[in-house]
Chain A
Amino acid sequence: MKNAVEIENLSYDYPDGHEALHNISLAIAKNETVTVIGPNGAGKSTLLLHLNGIIRSNGAIKILGTPLTEKNIRWVRSKVGLVFQNPDDQLFSPTVFDDIAFGPLNMGLTGEEVRSRVQKALAMVNMEGYDKRSPQHLSVGEKKRIAIATVLSMDTEILVFDEPSANLDPRAKWNLVDLIERLSMTKIVASHDLELVNKLGGRTVILDKGQIVCQGPTGEILSDTMLLKKHGLAPAPNISTS
């Protein structure tokens, strides 16, 4: 079986010469859940932006077995859905409907197909009936859900989340975690919220200073407090993550 994502020796320098990613190699199987944890500035977001070619460097990425190139970038973007950290960046249209329809329309779909996809995506995030609303009048939790719907409507096979729990209160956060767990496609989640990482399970990769320092089953990684501490991820002393 082909891997959903294959990264080989990926390195990237910021335009100012500062090294963001160094020799990253990572393979993610289909329908696997992988969480990428690491301190601020570790390169998590930069890594995610590589996955659908927003940032391109040395071309060492394969999506569903096909190398990512200039030519198949449209195909890649219809397969890899990116949910950005700040929903105010992701939701830029005057209505929720327009935002969810944006991806499908860019894929060349029309009419009824787009409408049914929007409804389906809204149903998947439990936000039916919100299509006429303006994103600016939604709560942060609602905005996050709609942001997820904007990529679900494209029927992507790989979902990539950047800090999904940022700025959410506990209730909104756990609702969102439930939602992410329910989605069955390949999931890549970058976060430093260890509660969230623990709940999602699967495999965890620690990224620090642009390098993968460790990876393994989530439970194992999270129970190694010394390792977490070393990379600025130690949990608070009296709140258990289990």
Chain B
Amino acid sequence: MKHSFIDKYSDRSSPIHRLDPRTKIMTAIAFVIMVMVTPPGEWLAFAIYLLFLAMLILVSRVPPVYILKRSLVVIPFVVLIGIFIPFLKTSGSSGSYNVWMWDIPKSNLVLFASIIIKSWLSVISLVLLTATTQFSEVLKGLEKLRMPGVMVMILSFMYRYIFVLTDEVLRMKQARDSRSFGEKRSRQIKTIGNVIGTLFLRSYERGERVYAAMVSRGFDGEIRTLSSTTMRYTDLLYTSSFLIIISIACLSLAI
């Protein structure tokens, strides 16, 4: 019905798009780790990270607004988790702000801001990964990086069937809406429960049919794949420039 995409813009062409998926996955993970281990309050390092990402986005020709929108989705969750950090008691005496009835230590605010910035930076890098790599390529990359075949397969089924399932939910919703109107809230909740149950059963049955289709084409539990991608000169170039930028950020930490 609807044509939705997880990996929108991934079919474009740019130097970033053409990189081997393994290069992109590994550098994205390395970047996230690097961001995570950067001590809080290192604003210069954060600025270099952001600059680096901005550069990549520019080269990848993915609309920056799209990446920004996607990356902001997680911020509310991070805020929710970190919301208590400013109010924690600390022994340090780096000064504090008085807000109504609380004493908020300055170091806690720095920590809070750093956590938000760190998670935002990490998410941008992952959004960039999915926006420049077709999902099937990501899967191939994960497989080559020795991720267990079963997990790759689960991800691949998720990618294949998530929109089939949302379509199914949409149809059930339309069927419900065309027969129910002005119901009490409690009745509605009951209907939603039924919808979830039905969806589970249908997915289960679909699973059986998909499995039958796999078995009838000789599937015996072993996952076989074809190797096709090869690392190229540009992958080496990308990885080394990535390392250089990371080390510049490290240097900025040292001074």
Contacts and interface: CB of A to CB of B under 8 A. Distances in A.
A130 interface: no
B49 interface: no
B136 to A, nearest CB: 4
B212 A106 contact: no
B226 A111 contact: yes
A92 B210 contact: yes
Contact of A77 (B164, B206, B210, B217): B217
A213 B135 CA distance: 50
Given A105-B226, A135-B160, A94 B136 contact: yes
Given A74-B218, A102-B217, A94 B212 contact: no
A223 interface: no
A89 B136 contact: no
Interface residues of A, number: 37
Nearest to B164: A88
A94 B225 CA distance: 13
Interface in B3-61: 3
Interface string B141-180: 0000000000000001101110110000000000000000
B209 A89 contact: yes
A106 B210 contact: no
A93 B217 contact: no
Interface stretch (A6-14, A78-86, A189-197): A78-86
Nearest to B139: A94
Contacts of B219: 102, 106
Given A88-B164, A94-B135, A136-B164, A77 B212 contact: no
Contact of B226 (A88, A89, A114, A134): A114
A interface SS class: helix
A129 B247 CA distance: 44
B72 interface: no
B160 A84 contact: no
Contacts of B187: none
B98 interface: no
Contacts of B160: 91-94, 134-136
B217 A94 contact: no
B220 interface: yes
Contacts of B215: 54, 77
B225 to A, nearest CB: 7
B77 to A, nearest CB: 28
B213 A92 contact: yes
A82 B212 CA distance: 10
Interface in B199-220: 206, 209-210, 212-220
B217 A98 contact: no
Among B160, B161, B163, the one with the most A-chain Cβ atoms within 10 Å of its Cβ is B160
Contact of B220 (A84, A92, A106, A114): A106
Contacts of B164: 88, 136
Contact of A89 (B135, B159, B210, B217): B210
Nearest to A87: B213
B206 A89 contact: yes
A36 interface: no
Contact of B156 (A81, A93, A151): A93
Given A135-B160, A150-B217, A86 B209 contact: yes
5 contacts: A74-B220, A89-B213, A93-B160, A101-B226, A102-B214
